[in-house]
């Protein structure tokens, strides 16, 4: 865990205190279940539930000798109890405690992540409604294509995050399982009801079948779900970074009073938040690799997964939580420049309307091949003039492309001046925005 990229609400769920508390909660739930089944005296169970505690320093001292963290934990807890300690960890194996406790930690942490996703979706929706009809140029291959709206860009973002929300909610069901099935998962030393009662107490469901561990495909599902979502968040961040480029300058991260962009160049306003998000997304994706490799354990279990999970589980949750809050801050406070969007939309002298003209010609009986030739021929003239530094509009404010089309005799045989001018109407490109929004923001 790196404090710089941690939020206390999430980080607190993965401290040593939180880990051992989760272990204790599982152990107490098992004691309650044994008492419910009549295996251990209710009075002893009550004493354990009321008095069992642990001391992290003491656990460390014991582990230095035992070299087994779960035994160090149970020994520490037993020191806080009397004769009733004989029932603590009764009929269980280490992973019954550890894996079930981790399921509780993952459940609590994923609830936060899901809350974060809903938060960022709400911010996206708010900005999308704000800029539903804010015109900008759409780009493919980084090159100007046709007019779109900034709201449509954000609608795509919202729709993508909705898929991640659904995926995470499904993943919640996959990871929220516990086990109290014994050393090889055969329930030789405990009935199935013990596991069922324990899991019910902890808000989990029993794994239908387990060996000595909860199967790691469940963990891998979680890691890949967060990795995939991180890729989407990075997509948003990269988009913002492009918009903030000086040559584009359609949006930028909020620049606070007193903020500095460069130690050498006082004028700089850099997209540091979204660049940071790009880096964090790389780390979150990296955690998916050990999670998937942990699926292939030897036979009923080995412990090759243990060391990696001490890294990736807390770090993936903590980093994902931080990243989502940072991206939400970027979106909620993003400074948008509609005038610059319109300036860029007009940058190519009307070329963004080329397909509109292309589609009108076949309606007048012109073959697609001839239509494409006519439209492209005039478009190439504009590109050549742009390369020469010529203004993209004439003295009357008419676009270069419109002028070339109006002067093309072959084109004028099929389209009137009025028909050509109508092709340069921005409303044509926004006529279905409301309907798209209705589909996305149901």
pLDDT in tens, 202-245: 999 999 999 989 999 999 999 999 999 999 999 999 999 999 99
Band of residue 127 on the pLDDT scale cut at 50, 70, 90: very high
Contact present, 370 and 363 (Cβ < 8 Å) = no
Name the 3-class secondary structure at 399: strand
Torsion (CA) 378, 379, 381, 386 in degrees, nearest 10? 150
Would you say the pTM of this structure is higher than 0.85?
yes
Q: Which of 283, 281, 288, 285 is nearest to 326 (CA)?
A: 281
CA distances from 116 to 158, 164, 171, 332 (A): 13, 12, 15, 13
The architecture of the domain spanning 351-423 is: Orthogonal Bundle (1.10)
User: Which H/E stretch holds residue 320?
Assistant: helix 304-333
CATH of 93-135+151-339, one of 1.20.200.10, 3.30.390.50, 3.40.930.10, 1.10.510.10: 1.20.200.10
Q: Tell me: pLDDT of 260 over 90.
A: no
Q: Which of 15, 27, 175 is nearest to 103 (CA)?
A: 175
From the CB of residue 65, how many other CB atoms can be counted at a distance below 10 Å?
10
Report the catalytic residues: 141, 262
Compute the chain's Rg from CA coordinates.
31
Residue 48 to residue 198: CA distance in whole angstroms:
15
Q: Calculate mean pLDDT across residues 415-419.
A: 97
Residue 91 to residue 74: CA distance in whole angstroms:
13
Q: Tell me: pLDDT of 108 over 90.
A: yes
List, in sequence order, every residue forming a beta bridge with 140; answer none if it has no partner. 143
List, in sequence order, every residue forming a beta bridge with 144; answer none if it has no partner. 139
Contact present, 305 and 294 (Cβ < 8 Å) = yes
**Domain ranges, ordered by start, for the chain:** 93-135+151-339, 351-423
Token pair listed for 83 = 């004769």
Place of tokens 């742009």: 386
Q: Tell me: pLDDT of 428 over 90.
A: yes
């Amino acid at each position: 865990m790196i404090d710089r990229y941690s939020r206390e609400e999430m980080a607190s769920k993965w401290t040593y205190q939180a880990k051992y508390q989760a272990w204790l909660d599982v152990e107490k739930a098992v004691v309650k279940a044994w008492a419910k089944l009549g295996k251990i005296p209710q009075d002893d169970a009550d004493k354990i539930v009321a008095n069992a505690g642990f001391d992290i320093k003491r656990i460390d001292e014991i582990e230095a000798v035992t070299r087994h963290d779960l035994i160090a934990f149970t020994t520490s807890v037993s020191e806080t109890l009397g004769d009733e300690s004989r029932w603590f960890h009764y009929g269980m194996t280490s992973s019954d405690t550890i894996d079930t406790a981790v399921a509780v930690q993952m459940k609590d942490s994923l609830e936060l992540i899901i809350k974060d996703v809903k938060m960022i979706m709400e911010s996206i929706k708010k900005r999308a409604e704000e800029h539903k009809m804010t015109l900008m140029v759409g780009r493919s291959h980084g090159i100007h294509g046709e007019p779109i709206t900034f709201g449509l860009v954000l609608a795509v973002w919202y729709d993508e995050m909705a898929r991640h929300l659904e995926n995470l909610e499904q993943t919640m069901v996959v990871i929220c399982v516990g086990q109290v099935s014994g050393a090889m998962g055969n329930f030789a030393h405990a009935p199935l009801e013990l596991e069922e009662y324990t899991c019910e107490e902890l808000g989990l469901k029993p794994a239908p079948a387990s060996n000595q561990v909860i199967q790691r495909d469940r963990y891998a599902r979680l890691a890949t779900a967060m990795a995939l979502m991180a890729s989407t968040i990075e997509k948003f961040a990269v988009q913002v970074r492009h918009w903030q480029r000086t040559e584009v300058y359609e949006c930028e991260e909020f620049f606070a009073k007193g903020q500095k962009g460069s130690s050498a160049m006082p004028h700089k306003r850099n997209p540091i938040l979204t660049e940071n998000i790009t880096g964090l997304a790389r780390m979150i994706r990296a955690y998916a690799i050990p999670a998937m490799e942990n699926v292939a354990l030897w036979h009923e279990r080995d412990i090759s997964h243990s060391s990696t999970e001490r890294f990736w589980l807390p770090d993936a949750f903590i980093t994902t939580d931080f990243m989502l809050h940072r991206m939400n801050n970027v979106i909620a406070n993003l400074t948008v420049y509609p005038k610059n969007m319109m300036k860029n939309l007009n940058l190519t002298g009307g070329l963004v309307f080329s397909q509109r003209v292309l589609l009108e010609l076949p309606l007048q009986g012109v073959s697609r091949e001839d239509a494409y030739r006519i439209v492209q021929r005039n478009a190439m003239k504009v590109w050549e003039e742009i390369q020469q530094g010529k203004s993209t509009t004439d003295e009357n404010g008419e676009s270069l492309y419109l002028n070339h089309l109006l002067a093309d005799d072959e084109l004028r045989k099929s389209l009137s001046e009025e028909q050509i001018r109508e092709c340069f109407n921005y409303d044509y490109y926004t006529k279905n925005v409301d309907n798209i929004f209705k589909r996305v923001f149901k």
